[in-house]
Every structure is written in structure tokens, then in C-alpha cells.
Chains A and B, each alone.
Chain A
Amino acid sequence: MYDNKYIHGLDLINENLNQYKEFVKDKVVFGGIILIGKILDRGIIKNINLTDHTLRELAKMGHPYAKRNPQMIHTPEYLVHKQSGELRSSFYSYNYQDYIKNRTAHVAGVDENKAPHAKFVIMGTSKMVPRDFLGGTLQEKAQEMRDEFINFMKKTRFRKAAKK
């Protein structure tokens, strides 16, 4: 049978481990979330700021997102042209830490009060094809975000170990 009193320094090791765990949870993971959140935000903003066709050009093409004449004019399909800039200005994002649920998250979305049409762009309508630029960008950037998060965690661990 092992007993704590026979392992010298065990309390100190436990204390260090707990401190390290708290440090990782509070600072490192949150730092990683902020970092990869920026990647996602940049991707979404880029994807809703397409300027390769003007409104007039889209009309001339026969409204490529409409049911009467659906055409794929760009890849991926969920890109959105910048028109009034309403959608761009309705975009918001924030990071949060929920200590009760022990959860850290990055939230990105569009404010429906500022851009009431955003919902219809994402879901489509019976006459317009959907362009889910939020879900689409998340998928597009998922691998990059995952890699970036892993790199960030690795770097932080090494730096912490090096200081010791």
C-alpha cells in the first residue's frame, strides 16, 4: 500500500500540477480560442465581401441565385457579394469563458436586427438558393483552425517547460 507521507514532495507536485491545469484552462486554451477565432472571423468577412460582380452584372446574368436561372458563378457556392455593406456590418463575434460549465468558446454570427435578410441568404427561400456562409466558412477553415490550435498549445507547453 502506498501512503502519501512516504512520497516526499507529492503535495508540491500536486499543487504544481493543479496550478498548471488551471493555467492551461484559463490562459492557454482561451488564448488558443482567441487565435483560431480570428482565423474564422477573417474567413467569414472575406466570404461576405465578394466584389467580382456588381448588382448590375448579376442582373445581366439573369440573377444567378434565383430559381428561374440558377448558375454557379463562384466556388464555393456560399460566397456573398457585397452590396450595401449591411451584412458585413451586422457580423459580430466574441470569445467567452463559462466557468460554471467549464467551457471556452468563440461565437460568430450576424445580427438579424441590422441585416434582416441574412436569414434568407443562409436558409434560402423558395425562389433563391441558400448560401450558408457561416457554416461553410467554418468547414472551410476547420482544418486550419485545428492545426493552428495544436501548434499554439505545443508552443505554449514548450515555452512553459523551458522557463522551469
Chain B
Amino acid sequence: MNELLVALRTNLIANATVRGLVADRCYPAHIATLPNVTFPCACFALAGGSLDRDVSDFGIISANIWAWSMKHYEQSWEIYNAIFAVLDHNNISATVGAKTIRAVLRETARPIQAYDEIEKVYYLMGTWEARCLKS
């Protein structure tokens, strides 16, 4: 479901509020796997899911979304809330190659927050579900 990652990134950085907070730093991978990251930023990664037994182009995919800030939790929440406004119960779509993916997302668990003492970073992680259809 690489197309879903493309759709998420495309739709997030197309939003003026999200772009105002993190510029184009919406990464389709967890931060620990990325080199030279600049804060604040947002990350998202797929966390499994299942395809329909009969129509394999339809799938329900889980995703985690992180909002990172070096300043304070408030900034992390601002980023997360901006992402929430773009994605929650909204349709997103993207075309990758010959395939177009359409997805409806909803938050399944409110974010948990943590402070990384070593890097001195404040971050949140919310859990999401995407209902996707490829065509």
C-alpha cells in the first residue's frame, strides 16, 4: 500500500496549515529510520491491516501518525491537530503510476504523548485506520 503513503504525504503538504507548521517535513517513515531530520516534523507509517477476501483492491489499513517538536508539547499538538483536520473522516486520493488510490481515514485512538529525554523532543502518536480502494 505504498500508494497510501503517497496519498497521505500529498494531501498533508497540500494543506496550508500543515505546511505552515512543518513545511514539507511530512515523512512517510518513522523518524528513527530517517537521516538528518529537522524539527518540527510529522511522520506516518503503515502498521498492517487486511485486504478484502473477495476484492483485493479494497483494504483496511492501520497507520500511526507522529508529530514531533523540539519546543514543547503545544507545538506537537498544533501539528497533530492540523493533520487531524486534514485527514479525519475526509477522502484523500493520489495517483501512482497507473493506479489511483482513494482512502477515507479516521482516528481510532487519540494520541499518546511522550518526551524523549536524550534528544529533548516532545512527540505524540495517534493511531488511524484507512479504508482504501485502488482502481
**Contact surface of A with B, Cβ cutoff 8 Å:** 66-67, 70, 76, 119-120, 122-130, 132, 135-136, 139-140, 142-143
Distance in Å: Cβ of B128 to nearest Cβ of chain A: 11
Give the total number of A-B pairs whose CB atoms are below 8 A apart. Answer: 66
Question: In whole angstroms, what is the CA distance A132 to B45 when docked?
Answer: 12
Question: In whole angstroms, what is the CA distance A127 to B123 when docked?
Answer: 13
- Identify which of A123, A139, A140 gathers the most chain B CB atoms within 10 Å of its CB: A123
Task: Give the residue of B32, B47, B49, B112 whose beta carbon is less than 8 angstroms from that of A126.
Answer: B32
B119 x A139 contact (CB < 8 A) = no
Number of interface residues of B (CB under 8 A): 23
A123 x B33 contact (CB < 8 A) = no
B114 x A120 contact (CB < 8 A) = yes
A139 x B125 contact (CB < 8 A) = no
Q: A67-B33, A124-B30, A129-B33 are in contact. Are A139 and B48 (CB under 8 A)?
A: yes
Q: For residue B109, which residue of chain A has the nearest CB?
A: A135
Q: A119-B112, A123-B66, A123-B123 are in contact. Are A129 and B48 (CB under 8 A)?
A: no
B48 x A136 contact (CB < 8 A) = yes
User: In the complex, given contacts A124-B32, A130-B64, what are 6 additional A-B residue pairs having Cβ atoms less than 8 angstroms apart?
Assistant: A120-B114, A124-B31, A125-B114, A125-B116, A130-B125, A139-B49
Decide if B56 is an interface residue (CB 8 Å cutoff). no
A125 x B127 contact (CB < 8 A) = no
Task: Give the residue of A67, A122, A126 whose beta carbon is less than 8 angstroms from that of B121.
Answer: A126
B115-129: which have CB < 8 Å to A? 116, 118-119, 121, 123, 125, 127
List A contacts of B30 (CB < 8 A). Answer: 124, 129-130
Task: Give the residue of A66, A119, A125, A132 whose beta carbon is less than 8 angstroms from that of B64.
Answer: A132
> Can you name 14 A-B pairs with beta carbons within 8 Å?
A67-B32, A70-B32, A70-B33, A124-B30, A126-B32, A126-B116, A126-B118, A130-B30, A130-B125, A132-B47, A132-B64, A135-B62, A139-B47, A139-B62
